[in-house]
Copies of this chain bind each other. A is one copy, B any other.
Amino acid sequence: MRYEFKEDKEVYGDLIFESKFWKLFLAPSQKCLGTSVLVLKREAVNLRELTSQEWDEFGLIVKDIEVTMNKSFNPDLYNWACFKNAAYRDESGEVKAQIHWHIHPRYRDPVIFEGVEFIDPNFGYPPSLGEKTIPDELREKIIGHVRVNFDGR
């Protein structure tokens, strides 16, 4: 079940689930508990390239993710963003832009999961850019918790 491609793991995090057209990863940084990345499974740079089938499934997945995250962590709202700025950060051309969505669950109050407190440092404003790494075992527990709620949604 664990996603095997190292390059994806380094960039997007750990696989939570995949659908026909999309893969959902638990993001490397967990400043906001449950922060995830939804990546298109074929190469495409700009949102205008998405097919109607890919949009259809995206709409269904948005609902699935918000319902699942509500059950898992009960955030106050969600920030959704398709930016791809990092691929344009240097001019080497080595990083190819790829359609992916950042999903930031946002929390007015601290939230505790498995005894660990997560504080959204910038609630009411765009997501903080700082990194927050957590132990692998805690990541596994978050993924397990989300998967159970995803299957039971």
Contacts and interface: CB of A to CB of B under 8 A. Distances in A.
Given A79-B83, A83-B81, A59 B66 contact: no
Contact of A48 (B67, B76, B84): B67
A78 interface: yes
Contacts of A129: 126
A62 B48 CA distance: 6
A66 B47 CA distance: 8
Contacts of A108: 88
- Most chain B CB atoms below 10 A, which of A67, A89, A124: A124
A86 B55 contact: no
Contacts of A5: none
